[in-house]
Amino acid sequence: MPLEIEHKYLVRKDLWYAVQKPPGVNVRQGYLLTGPDKTIRVRTTGTEAYLTIKGASPKASRAEYEYPIPVADADELLKICTVPLIEKIRYRIEYAGKTWEVDEFFGENEGLILAEIELISEGEKYNRPSWVGEEVTGDKRYYNAYLAQHPFSGTV
């Protein structure tokens, strides 16, 4: 079974805005199904699109199945997803031999910036950049599926 091991953090905006960033990728995603034990997501990232099924995530690990689909199909599926859609710019930042994905949200979740790191094993050690703040792994308020139904208000 494919397994995703991921840690999620709030980003310290004061330090993040000073970081030299590579070009970001516009991401649009929506949810066909959200539940306590699984989600089914559609995502477009420019010229690529994916259908993703994820299992429950009580901690940092969960089952994840991701399949490429035609962008035209993804655009149609996004029309029937929960609204609002998740809209963000994703940056991939290399730091201390690891890739951090940083999402700057806009639209209904404007003002939220999250960083994620995927690991090979649960106990894997890694270094955090200075702009990485409080860990929110396992906090449902920061799951994209939750944000699609309860947009970020800046008060979380």
User: Is the bond into 58 cis (omega within 30 degrees of 0)?
Assistant: no
- The whole-model pTM stands at 0.91
The model's pLDDT over 70-100, given as tens digits with 9 standing for 90+, comes to 999 999 999 999 889 999 999 999 999 999 9
Tokens representing 68 are 């490429």
Task: Kindly name the residue from 9, 31, 91, 142 that is annotated as catalytic.
Answer: 31
Tell me the average pLDDT of the chain. Answer: 93
Share of the chain above pLDDT 70, in %: 96
Say yes or no to pLDDT of 58 above 80: no
| Active-site residue, 31 included | yes
DSSP string, 46-64: TTEEEEEEEE--SSSEEEE
Q: What's the number of CA atoms in the CB half-sphere (13 Å) around residue 95?
A: 21
Query: Where do the domains of the chain lie, and which CATH numbers do they carry?
Result: 3-149 (2.40.320.10)
